[in-house]
Chain A
Amino acid sequence: MFLANRVVILAVVLLAVVMIGFTITRSTGTPLYASLGMAVSEAIIEQRAEEMGLNEPIVVQFWTYVVHLLQGDLGVSRISRIPVAEDIALKLPATAEMVFFTLMVSFIWAIPLGVRAGLRPGGRLAKLGEGMAQFGVSVPAFWLGLLFIFLLYFLPPRIPEPLGPLPALFPPPLARLGSVTPPEMVTGFYTVDALIAGDFRLAWQALWHLILPAVTLSLTSGPPLFRVTRTAVSEALASPFVEAAYSYGLGRRTVLIRDVLRNASPPVLNLTAMTFGYLIGGGVLVEVVFSWPGIGSYAVWGMDNSDYDVVLAVVIIAAVIYVILYFIVDLIQFAMDPRLRD
């Protein structure tokens, strides 16, 4: 029942997302003028509209649109004349890699601090975590990125004697590897590809370029993760099964791992997956600040050039990834939590 319900919801949401995409495409009127330009005669416009199926009833048009989407056809860029789907296939791994490392960074600070804050509220680490969370929600990611660039890339080589000049701590905010030739594409993750190619220096450089964007995004997207972990741990700690485990005579450490952390993990995993899905399209500004060639800066590039097919393709891709991830998270929860099955 739960599962069937979820599948229906997935279908409905996907359909709605695509419908919104379709409406927006049609309201911009781009398919026609994009392919022709403005200065053409009525007859040519009419002929072209016929060719593109724009005189068909709207339902038929929508159907064609959906079929094209399912075939992976997201339109053609007006500027580069390259199919948008090809561009996205190149840029999506860049975004995915950045988001992946963002979550890695969040795992380093948000979750341990959250566990600690849940176990010992009011402690020094709990306060540190809350402070970082407060900071993270107050600060705009793109501005934080700029600050990092200034403080860690620009400033160190200019520190006067006796301290400096220090070498620049981080590479210039230019793309994924600056001017270095990227490794041969296998997964699209430069760090992984470089390792596959056996080039450790290149992998290190790729990682080096990733750190600042990942830290920036992690600081601004990590606070919910910290807070949810804290709540989950403190709730698990206060629940009867923990009391029962203690009364069996189990040690603190065992109870902590066996009962508290295990029971606190579902909401945290859930949010982690949601954060991943969200950041695929939510890291736009950080991508722009660091000139990261992901789908976010691709969408902004499209917007700057009035290339609306590009914008909409990115919007739809990001939304679809989010919805499907949401669905997968539901499935995992279903598998993990027997209470949902009846």
Chain B
Amino acid sequence: MTTISPQRERRVLARTLVGPTAGITIRRSLFFFMLFLAVIGPWIETIGQWIPIPVYDPLRPDPFNPVSPPSAEHWFGTDTLGLDIFTRVIVATRVDFTLALIGVMLGGGLGCLAGAWSAYRRGWVDMIALRIVEVVQSFPVLLLGLALFAALGPLDIFGPVDHGMAVLVIAIAMVNFPLYLRQVRSVLLPLTEAEFVQAAKCAGLGAWGIVWNHFIPNARGQILALFPLTCAYAIQIIAGLSFIGLGIEPPNPEWGSMIKTGATLIVQGHWWVSVFPGAFIVLSVYSLTGFSARSETLVGPGGTSA
């Protein structure tokens, strides 16, 4: 059984975010550092006026300084257009984090609801839910993204929202929906006949009331453990799709598309254009997965199996 008491669960939540545990501190502070970068991202230029770090306009090219190696003026060097990589890597943090967060919340939220609903209803509802999961998961993630871009490419349906970003979010949501559905369903399936469910039924609570008030809270520990992990995964997908030119268009700073710019330069020895954005992906994914490992150990056995 994977049920945990509300008190224990609150402890898990608290400890995941702030509690002291040796060994994981560096990883956790790394995450908060990335979060800090995501917050200050767009104002980095203003901040650069007060403290002596060399930051520039992330979108203004410097034609006299293309592909210059890391130096005191350009800590991470510049790319083919002379854009400062240090500034852009920091500005991109917010883009990647936000898109990942929105996509995971959208797909994960729906997945949780569907998972809880199918665990409660069982029968044909459950069967349909599982078939949907199987169908979605039989597409390799990046090809699913590719197909989405192919399908939604010519349609102008997002209005003022940036088209590429919207499709990225949908792709992330589609990948996460089955993950959360499966996880939540497998945790809640044994609870369908539990006494508190019977009691709630006797008290006259409707199906959605039971699912919402009594089912989903029981899966919160697992959802919590899955969340950072899927966010990390989402960042990788966003970067991967942008790397093949889908999603965020090149002049805008994004880690994957920055790596793409450097991909052709690296065989000529200009390593800095790709290496720094990639290192930031590694750092954010690494720090995020650390949280998952933590909440998994706190929730105890039967955590995620991702």
Seen from chain A, the residues whose Cβ lies within 8 Å of a Cβ on chain B are: 9, 12-13, 16-17, 20, 23-24, 27-29, 134, 137-140, 142-143, 146-147, 149-150, 153-155, 158, 172-173, 278, 280-282, 284-285, 288-289, 296, 299-300, 303-304, 306, 308, 311-312, 314-315, 318-319, 322-323, 326
- Within 8 Å by CB of B134, from A13, A278, A282, A284, lies A13
> What is the CB-to-nearest-CB distance from A106 to chain B, in angstroms, rounded to a whole number?
17
Q: Digit string of B116-150 for contact with A (CB within 8 Å is 1, else 0)?
A: 00000000000000010011001111111011011
- Within 8 Å by CB of A282, from B131, B141, B268, B286, lies B141
Q: List 27 A-B contacts (CB under 8 A).
A: A23-B151, A27-B151, A138-B282, A139-B282, A140-B281, A142-B263, A143-B259, A146-B275, A149-B266, A154-B268, A172-B267, A281-B140, A282-B140, A285-B142, A285-B240, A289-B263, A296-B143, A303-B149, A304-B245, A306-B153, A308-B150, A312-B150, A314-B143, A315-B139, A319-B139, A319-B140, A322-B140
Closest to A279 in B: B140
A interface, by DSSP: helix, strand, loop or mixed?
helix
How distant is the Cα of A296 from the Cα of B135 in the complex, in angstroms?
20
- Within 8 Å by CB of B243, from A134, A142, A158, A323, lies A142
Q: Top 6 closest A-B pairs, CB basis?
A: A281-B140, A143-B278, A138-B286, A24-B151, A282-B140, A16-B135
Contact B139–A24 (Cβ < 8 Å): no
Known contacts A9-B134, A140-B281, A303-B146, A318 near B289 by CB under 8 Å: no
Contact B146–A24 (Cβ < 8 Å): no
Known contacts A281-B139, A315-B144, A322-B138, A16 near B131 by CB under 8 Å: yes
Q: Could you list 7 further interchain pairs (A-B, Cβ under 8 angstroms) beyond the known A140-B278, A319-B140?
A: A140-B236, A146-B259, A149-B266, A153-B267, A154-B267, A281-B139, A284-B244
Contact A13–B131 (Cβ < 8 Å): yes
How distant is the Cα of A142 from the Cα of B243 in the complex, in angstroms?
8
How distant is the Cα of A63 from the Cα of B271 in the complex, in angstroms?
52
- Within 8 Å by CB of A300, from B232, B244, B268, B281, lies B244
Closest to B286 in A: A138
Report chain A residues within 8 Å CB of B263: 142, 146, 289
Contact B140–A278 (Cβ < 8 Å): yes
Report chain B residues within 8 Å CB of A285: 142, 240, 243-244
How distant is the Cα of A160 from the Cα of B263 in the complex, in angstroms?
25
Contact B135–A143 (Cβ < 8 Å): no
Is B83 an interface residue, CB under 8 A from the partner?
A: no
Is B12 an interface residue, CB under 8 A from the partner?
A: no
Report chain B residues within 8 Å CB of A13: 131, 134-135, 138
Report chain A residues within 8 Å CB of B259: 140, 142-143, 146
Is B155 an interface residue, CB under 8 A from the partner?
A: yes
Report chain A residues within 8 Å CB of B142: 281-282, 284-285
Is B303 an interface residue, CB under 8 A from the partner?
A: no
- Within 8 Å by CB of B153, from A12, A28, A296, A299, lies A28
Contact B150–A303 (Cβ < 8 Å): yes
Report chain B residues within 8 Å CB of A289: 263
Is B77 an interface residue, CB under 8 A from the partner?
A: no
How distant is the Cα of A20 from the Cα of B135 in the complex, in angstroms?
9
> What is the CB-to-nearest-CB distance from A174 to chain B, in angstroms, rounded to a whole number?
10
- Within 8 Å by CB of B240, from A140, A153, A314, lies A140
Report chain B residues within 8 Å CB of A147: 275, 278
Report chain A residues within 8 Å CB of B139: 17, 281, 315, 318-319, 322
- Chain B contact-residue range equals 35 or more
How distant is the Cα of A144 from the Cα of B195 in the complex, in angstroms?
51
Report chain A residues within 8 Å CB of B149: 303
Report chain B residues within 8 Å CB of A20: 135, 147
Report chain B residues within 8 Å CB of A308: 150
Report chain B residues within 8 Å CB of A12: 131
- Within 8 Å by CB of B246, from A150, A282, A303, A319, lies A303
Is B274 an interface residue, CB under 8 A from the partner?
A: yes
How distant is the Cα of A240 from the Cα of B281 in the complex, in angstroms?
44
Known contacts A281-B140, A315-B139, A150 near B155 by CB under 8 Å: no
Contact A154–B266 (Cβ < 8 Å): yes
> What is the CB-to-nearest-CB distance from B272 to chain A, in angstroms, rounded to a whole number?
10
How distant is the Cα of A280 from the Cα of B140 in the complex, in angstroms?
8
Closest to A282 in B: B140
Closest to A310 in B: B150
Closest to B269 in A: A154
> What is the CB-to-nearest-CB distance from A48 to chain B, in angstroms, rounded to a whole number?
19
Known contacts A285-B142, A318-B143, A319-B138, A143 near B154 by CB under 8 Å: no
> What is the CB-to-nearest-CB distance from B76 to chain A, in angstroms, rounded to a whole number?
15
Is B168 an interface residue, CB under 8 A from the partner?
A: no
How distant is the Cα of A28 from the Cα of B148 in the complex, in angstroms?
10
Closest to A172 in B: B267
How distant is the Cα of A150 from the Cα of B271 in the complex, in angstroms?
7
Is B179 an interface residue, CB under 8 A from the partner?
A: no
How distant is the Cα of A64 from the Cα of B268 in the complex, in angstroms?
50
Report chain A residues within 8 Å CB of B282: 138-140, 143
Which of A23, A137, A155 is most buried by chain B, counting CB atoms within 10 A of its CB? A137
How distant is the Cα of A23 from the Cα of B141 in the complex, in angstroms?
19
Is B239 an interface residue, CB under 8 A from the partner?
A: yes
> What is the CB-to-nearest-CB distance from B224 to chain A, in angstroms, rounded to a whole number?
19
